Amino acid sequence: MNATTPLNFLIGFLCFFIYLALVLAVSFKSDSISIYDQKRFNKNRIVQQTVWCAPFLIGFIYLLLTKRAGLNEFLMLVFLPVIFLFGGEYFLFQPKLNSLKRDANKVFTSLKYANADSRCCFDSKTDELLLNRDEPVYIRGWLVDLRLDRVCKNTFGEYFWIVGSTNRNSITNIKHLDPHAVRNLLRVDRDVYLQEFNEEPYFKSK
């Protein structure tokens, strides 16, 4: 073992941790997804991106340690997966997600619900949006849709649950909520629950 082997070994592991840090940084950049869904969304992205890129990194570390590739080649090749990762994020995934967000907001702002009782009417343009749990929909790893899942309150203090999709062929449902249903839906967001009921959310143990 020559003197450069320990150095190559250390540089290899340093690059490995830099790679993981970059994957995490990109995966947790998900401010366009609601707070409720960020954890699950980020886990999916981390797993997907790591699985896609890890074989390249492992192969390059193997070539370096078995002296089949020099340090310069290793440093050049090890960051190719990261370049592809960022390229896919910013040129494929993020534009698609932004487009779906705009579509979701267009669907939402067009919603109205009429009722003989004026207290039970809903108009998305004037009523308050309390909770946004819009969720990305994937098919075989590809982002294809955004599922609307929102809770709103009208000027009379009545609550409504909106569930739909950016798919133009889907039907968006507007449901008037009773107090018990409202509490169950708002439990997922502590700040909103405190704002509406001035108490901590209670999670019934199963």
Secondary structure (DSSP) of 139-154: ETTEEEEEEEEEEEE-
Is residue 103 a part of any domain in this protein?
Answer: no
> Are both 83 and 35 inside the same structural domain?
yes
> Are both 83 and 114 inside the same structural domain?
no
> Are both 138 and 87 inside the same structural domain?
no
User: How far out from the chain centre does Cα 106 lie?
Assistant: 20
d(CA 63, CA 156): 68
> Are both 153 and 89 inside the same structural domain?
no
What range defines the domain where residue 44 resides? 4-94
d(CA 166, CA 144): 10
d(CA 76, CA 59): 13
Q: What pLDDT is attached to residue 206? A: 38
pTM of the predicted model as reported, rounded to 2 decimal places: 0.64
Q: Give the CA angle between residues 50, 56, 57 to the nearest 5°.
A: 75
Q: Digits of tens for pLDDT over the chain (206 positions)?
A: 455 556 666 666 666 666 666 665 655 554 444 444 544 554 555 566 666 666 666 766 666 666 666 666 666 666 666 666 666 667 777 788 889 999 999 999 999 999 889 999 999 999 999 999 998 887 766 788 999 999 999 999 999 999 999 987 788 999 999 999 999 999 988 899 999 998 888 764 33
- Specify whether the CB–CB gap between 186 and 200 falls below 8 A: no
- Specify whether the CB–CB gap between 105 and 97 falls below 8 A: no
> Are both 85 and 117 inside the same structural domain?
no
Q: What pLDDT is attached to residue 202? A: 74
Q: What pLDDT is attached to residue 126? A: 93
- The encoded tokens of residue 176 equal 């008037």
Q: What pLDDT is attached to residue 13? A: 63
- The encoded tokens of residue 20 equal 């993981």
CA dihedral 172, 174, 175, 179 (to 10 degrees): 130
Is residue 99 a part of any domain in this protein?
Answer: no
Is residue 204 a part of any domain in this protein?
Answer: no
- Single residue among 48, 67, 94 that ends a domain in this structure: 94
